[in-house]
Amino acid sequence: MAYSDKVMDHFYNPRNVGEIKDANGVGEVGNAACGDIMKIWIKVDENGIITDAKFRTFGCASAIASSSMATTLIIGKPLSEARELTNKAIAEALDGLPPSKIHCSVLAADAINRAIDDHLGIERQGDLEVMCICQNITRGEIEHAIAHGAFNLDLIKEQTGAMAGACLGVRCTEHIEELLKKYQ
C-alpha cells in the first residue's frame, strides 16, 4: 500500500490536532469495531465562517491524514462551503488514498457534516434511522457499507441486504441514492 507524500506529511505532521474547549459544533463518527474513530470540533463566528477546527482521531495513517486535511480545508470557509466538502475532495487534496483507505476520507467528510449539524442545532435522525423497512437496515449500516467501499446501489445491496425485500427497493432506493450523493 503506497501512500502519497502528502498523506505521509499529514500523518507525521498533522495539522489542527486537539480539541476546542468552547467549540460551537462537534461531530464524531466511526466505531472501535472498524478501527477508526474521528471527532472534529469547529468554531464558527457570527458571520457563519469556520474560524477554527481541531480533531482527535484514533486510526491508521489515512484516518489521521484525512482528519488533518479536512480541518485544514474548512478553516476560513463559510458553513455552506464546508458542508459541500466531499470525501473525494479530501482524498484528492492528499494526492489520493489507496482504495482500501477511501473510507477514511468518507469518515472525515461525515464528521464535518455532523459538526455543522451540531452547530446549527440540526437533530440528526441518527444512525438507527431505518432506511430499508423491509429488511430493517439502518442508516448506520448503509453508511458503514459506503465507508467501506460500497459506492453504488448494487454494492450496498450486496453488503447490507437493503433493497432486497418485498418492495424490491421501491421505498428505500431513493433515500439510499440521496445518501450516496453526499459521498461522491
- Report, in this order, helix, strand and coil percent for the chain, each rounded to 5: 45, 20, 40
Q: Is 167 in the active site?
A: no
Give yes or no for a contact between 55 and 40, defined as CB atoms under 8 angstroms apart. Answer: yes
**CA pair distance 136, 59, nearest whole angstrom:** 29
How deeply is 122 buried, as exposed, middle or buried, from its count of CB atoms within 10 A (0-12, 13-18, 19+)? exposed
Catalytic one among 60, 104, 134, 167?
104
Whole-Å CA distances, 112 to 31, 97, 152, 153: 16, 19, 22, 24
Q: Is 104 in the active site?
A: yes
Please provide residue 83's backbone torsions phi and psi, each rounded to the nearest 5 degrees: -60, -30
| Cell 463559510, located at residue | 78
Structure-block grid coordinates of residue 60: 491508521
Which residues are identified as catalytic? 34, 104
